[in-house]
Amino acid sequence: MAEDQQTCILEEVEKRADTAGDPETLNPESMKYLTSEFWNDLDASSKRLVLTQAIVTEALFVCAQRSSSQGDLLTGDKAEVRSE
């Protein structure tokens, strides 16, 4: 993974983690794909794990979208466009 892509992911993760705050006080309605029923049934450790996964996943998608016009997220190679 290219250094600029690693930087993008780290910055996005930090920004989203800061916005989300403490998993114990998180309003599940503020996060995509989390329902109150699901969130409230989790223990503290599970909440941290689920929140971490959601934050990292969102950061990866944001950075992948940014780099898609610049090349492959992992290798930095330009994508080939096929025309038929």
Q: Per-residue pLDDT averaged across 11-17, rounded?
A: 93
SS3 75: coil
User: Can you give the residue ranges of every domain in the chain?
Assistant: 1-18+40-71
The length of the chain in residues reads: 84
Q: Per-residue pLDDT averaged across 20-37, rounded?
A: 81
Residue 71: left (phi > 0), alpha (psi -120 to 50), or beta? left
Pairwise CA distance, residues 55 & 11, whole Å: 11
Task: Identify the pLDDT of residue 53.
Answer: 92
Pairwise CA distance, residues 18 & 15, whole Å: 5
Alpha helices in 21-43 (DSSP H): 36-40
Query: Do 24 and 45 touch, CB atoms closer than 8 A?
Result: no
Task: Identify the pLDDT of residue 15.
Answer: 93
The yes-or-no verdict on residue 80 having pLDDT over 70 is no
